[in-house]
Amino acid sequence: MKFSVEKALSSGGRLGLITQASKCGNITLETPMCTLFTKGGSAPHLHMDMLKRVALVPDVAAMSLGSLADHHESVAEFGKGLGEFAAMKNKLVFTTLHDASLALATGKNDNSGVAVWGKGGKIKLDTALFMKVQEAFQPDWFQAMSDGDTDRECGQKRLHKSVDRTLDFLDEIVEKMQNSQILSKSSLIGVIEGGFSEVERVRSAKETALRPVQGFLIEGFEKGNSGKDLFSHDTFSNILTTTIKCLPEDKPRMMETVWSPLQVIKAFRLGIDVFSSAYPHTLAEQGLALVADYSLPPSSQAARLELGCTNPCTEDQTLYTDLNIKFFLCFTMPNFARGCILCFTMPNFPKGHNFHQYFDFFHHLRKAVLEDKLDELEQSLEQQNGNK
């Protein structure tokens, strides 16, 4: 994996290109981008056949180890890696530790390893098992083992330990990688920890940057998905900025946080390049549809970004968004439905539709930056969101 900056903003954000992104080295990706969120290696609720019908699906599928690690022996015997095993042959596979949509079960990590969680319960990974699993999965990118079980409440001592552990794991993995023919083409993603401690964040970033990693995943601000807006903590933006300043420019920075388009814009401005698409999934789980117009100027009337299932008809008679009953009359609002081929699919509709909206947003985000219209896009979304 190689990363180059195409265009940089004064705030730290940048348009970039990830070249030689895959193991075979032949894929180029544009950032900012999101990965395809999966559960058990599949887009939640979506048959591969249906996923193919969603436009702008990302080239990289993020697959968390929790639900998959247990099956590494089957995948090893299969012999062609996790991507092909999960019928995602045409995607790059990015193995992450945890399901980005869920909260972490906390207190299970120690110096010997970290716990990941599947339906079958806890799987304790030490670096030996971790590497065995990765060798079976043959990912294009893989997140190094990390102790991200920290948040704002954690004290200095805990954060120090989390940074130390994560660096120790990384060193062991780097050493083991030297003996692994199978993983020689895979890109190792180093993990930055340190909670809300600037000192620990800087230490984690600087130390990780010294190791042979191809990209950085920043985590440990919350214990998995907390459902809280990280930007509501007044120190978050500063700490993130300080952290990113310690990272080299020529490697991509990733966050797996569940973020709305507006939050993505904020994080992008600070210098994050690669995002998760867990957000549209978590919305759909709550029966919410992502409805916005990302074009500039918006070609449709202002609408809230998210439409809930309570009293759907009171504000606008043309919108029926009670997704609990699985009816969503996209055909009554063609402006929102542009290009959305999944608007009538009922049970799976929210997933397919929300995914499509989110992927479409990244397309427009990149376009807006290229055309120096990021402020306009942000304002347009804020207006549609009713924040003004």
Partner 1 sequence: MATQGSINHALSMTILAECSTSKARASVVRLPHALVDTPVFMPVGTQGTLKGLVPDQLRELDCRIMLGNTYHLGHRPGPDLLEKAGRQLFSYCFSFQDSGGFQMVSLLELAEITEEGVKFRSPHDGSEMLLTPEKSIEIQNSIGADIIMQLDDVVHSSVSGPRLEEAMYRTIRWLDRCIKAHQRPKDQCLFPIVQGGLDAELRTKCAHELIKRDVGGYAIGGLSGGEEKAEFWRMVKISTDLLPKEKPRYLMGVGFAVDLVVCVALGCDMFDCVFPTRTARFGCALVKTGQLNLKSKTFAKDFRPIDSECHCSTCQTYTRAYLHTLANTEPAACNIITVHNVAYQLELMRSMHQSILQDKFPNFVQQFFLTLFPQKGYPNWAVEALASVNIHLL
Our finding on whether 325 is near partner 1 (CB under 8 A) is yes
- Please, which of residues 94-133 interact with partner 1 by CB under 8 A? 118-120
∠ at Cα 376 (249, 305), nearest 5°?
Answer: 100
Helix or strand or coil: residue 42?
Answer: strand
Q: What is the Cα gyration radius of the chain? A: 20
- Structure token pair of residue 298: 């918006």
How many whole angstroms separate alpha carbon 384 and alpha carbon 236? 25
| Site membership for partner 1, residue 134 (CB under 8 A) | no
Question: Which residue from 95, 138, 257, 345 is in contact with partner 1, where contact means CB under 8 A?
Answer: 345
* Residue 349: count of CB within 10 angstroms of its CB: 21
**Judged by CB under 8 A, does residue 16 bind partner 1?**
no
Decide if residue 336 touches partner 1 (CB under 8 A). no
**346 part of the interface to partner 1, by CB under 8 A:** yes
Among 6, 78, 248, 301, binds partner 1 (CB under 8 A): 78
Tell me if 42 contacts partner 1 by CB under 8 A: yes
Q: Does 320 bind partner 1 (CB under 8 A)?
A: yes
Return the range that interacts with partner 1 (CB under 8 A); candidates 47-55, 123-131, 254-262, 300-308: 47-55
Q: Is 311 in the site for partner 1 (CB under 8 A)?
A: no
Q: What is the DSSP letter of 132?
A: H
CB within 8 A of 179, min separation 6: which ones? none
Residue pointed to by tokens 């309570």:
310
Which position among 68, 240, 258, 264 is part of the footprint of partner 1 (CB under 8 A)? 68
Decide if residue 74 touches partner 1 (CB under 8 A). Answer: yes
Q: Per CB under 8 A, does 83 bind partner 1?
A: no
Near partner 1 by CB under 8 A: residue from 54, 59, 62, 71: 71
- How many residues bind partner 1 (CB under 8 A)? The answer is 43
Which of 78/106 has CB closer to partner 1?
78
Tokens of 55: 């436009």
CB 301, min distance to partner 1, A: 21
* Part in contact with partner 1 (CB under 8 A); list of ranges 33-41, 200-208, 227-235, 261-269: 33-41
CA torsion, ordered 337, 340, 344, 345, to nearest 10 deg = -150
Measured from the CB of residue 100, what is the shortest distance to partner 1 in angstroms?
15
Helices within the chain (DSSP H only): 48-51, 72-78, 81-85, 127-137, 156-177, 198-210, 236-245, 261-270, 278-285, 312-315, 334-337, 349-370, 374-384
Report how far residue 38's alpha carbon sits from residue 205's, in angstroms, rounded to the nearest whole number: 28
Roughly how many angstroms between the first and final C-alpha of the chain, as a whole number?
41
- How far apart (Å, rounded) are the C-alpha atoms in residues 331 and 317? 13
The only residue of 7, 228, 326, 338 in contact with partner 1, by rule CB under 8 A = 326
Q: Tell me which of 17, 27, 50, 56 binds partner 1, using CB under 8 A.
A: 50
Angle CA(235)–CA(242)–CA(229) in degrees, nearest 5?
Answer: 35
Token pair, residue 195, equals 């909670």
Q: Which of 13, 16, 32, 44 binds partner 1 (CB under 8 A)?
A: 44
Using the rule CB under 8 A, is 329 a contact of partner 1?
yes
Q: Kindly tell me which residue out of 40, 198, 308, 382 binds partner 1, with binding defined by CB under 8 A.
A: 40
Q: Which residue has the tokens 């794991």?
A: 169
Q: Is 55 in the site for partner 1 (CB under 8 A)?
A: no
Q: Which two tokens stand for residue 280?
A: 């549209």
Does residue number 39 form part of the binding site for partner 1 (CB under 8 A)? yes
Question: DSSP assignment of 75-102, as one string?
Answer: HHHH-SHHHHHTT-TTSEEEEESS-TTS
Residues at the interface with partner 1 (CB under 8 A): 39-50, 53, 67-68, 70-71, 73-74, 77-78, 85-87, 118-120, 320, 322, 324-327, 329, 331, 342, 344-349, 352
